[in-house]
């Protein structure tokens, strides 16, 4: 049995998980959604910055998404969440 799985060429776009998330957020403008639950607050904060700054092409242009990291404790369980929402493309400077 081969240890290689032959599935054809990679998709044309990169960051396909993020592309799906960004597209979903675009269909619900102004609505906050939890897009990630990382293992640490530092990871959550880094992911939120990457979304806001459009360091991942799926969230371009920069400023078209808001994102924040939060620590949430419910029922004695603590988790870290990245909340994001689409606010629209930034207006060009006049």
pLDDT tens digit at each of 94 positions of the chain: 678 888 888 777 665 789 999 999 999 999 999 999 999 999 999 999 999 999 988 999 999 999 999 999 999 999 999 999 999 975 555 5
- The tokens of 16 are what? 């396909």
41 CB-near residues (< 8 Å, 6+ apart): 69, 71, 80
Beta-bridged to residue 19, according to DSSP, are: none
pLDDT reported for residue 5: 86
pLDDT reported for residue 91: 55
- The tokens of 8 are what? 């054809």
pLDDT reported for residue 6: 84
């Amino acid at each position: 049995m081969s240890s290689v799985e032959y599935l054809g060429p990679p998709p044309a776009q990169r960051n396909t998980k993020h592309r799906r998330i960004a597209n979903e957020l675009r269909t619900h403008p102004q609505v906050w959604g939890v897009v990630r639950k990382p293992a640490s607050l530092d990871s959550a904060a880094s992911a939120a910055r990457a979304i806001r700054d459009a360091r991942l092409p799926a969230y371009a242009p920069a400023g078209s998404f808001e994102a924040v990291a939060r620590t949430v404790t419910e029922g004695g369980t603590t988790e870290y969440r990245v909340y994001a929402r689409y606010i629209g493309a930034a207006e060009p400077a006049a």
